[in-house]
A and B are shown apart, each in its own frame.
Chain A
């Protein structure tokens, strides 16, 4: 099945520093990846859509200058949390959209294991 990896799985950083999280699709190409944030005991909230070769599309209320997204290849998207603050501490999850060989019918998002960010 389609596998998505994230690195790192956990990161602890000081307030004011930047943190980069990588999301990779391991066995398929993904022109579109997504970044979510999950708060404890809550659902996933979509932050942005990462499009290969073009700018990311951010959801309302998400600061694009704070959460920088780069989708430089068909298998890699990165999320950089700039000038992190304690309120940015959260569980960040990426997904990659597999459109399948014939398109449409296999249009499914596969999720990475998540990255636990703690900002001190």
Chain B
């Protein structure tokens, strides 16, 4: 069965620091890849997604992610975080054309002033 790993469970950064959250998946075929964010008390929101084409994907709020097929990775990055980026971040994967999303365990990001 496919799995999604997010190795950083808790990350604490100061404002303006750079962010990189890791995401690795185990599925060997074509995949669609997603990053979702859940702000405190709010529902999951789509940050960005990759289906095909340019492996560097830009999303909302200055986030981007890079798909590296050889490493089965889809890491999320932001050059300069803000306090308002404090949230939980989930990586999710589904096989190309498939219905189901498999989520990683999530990374809790706290940005300190």
> B-contacting residues of A (Cβ < 8 Å)?
32, 34, 41-44, 46, 49, 93, 95, 97, 104-105, 107-114
Contacts and interface: CB of A to CB of B under 8 A. Distances in A.
Contact of A111 (B32, B36, B51): B36
B65 to A, nearest CB: 15
A43 B108 CA distance: 11
Contact of A108 (B49, B102, B105, B108): B49
Contacts of B104: 43
Nearest to B108: A41
A46 to B, nearest CB: 6
B70 interface: no
Given A32-B99, A42-B105, A113 B90 contact: no
Given A44-B90, A93-B44, A108 B99 contact: no
Contacts, number: 44
B46 A93 contact: no
Contact of B44 (A104, A105, A107, A111): A111
Contact of B100 (A49, A108, A110, A114): A49
B34 interface: yes
A118 to B, nearest CB: 17
Would you list the 4 A-B pairs with minimal beta carbon distance, nearest first? A111-B44, A113-B43, A43-B103, A43-B105
B106 to A, nearest CB: 5
B12 interface: no
B21 to A, nearest CB: 14
- Interface hub of B34, B44, B99 (most chain A Cβ within 10 A): B44
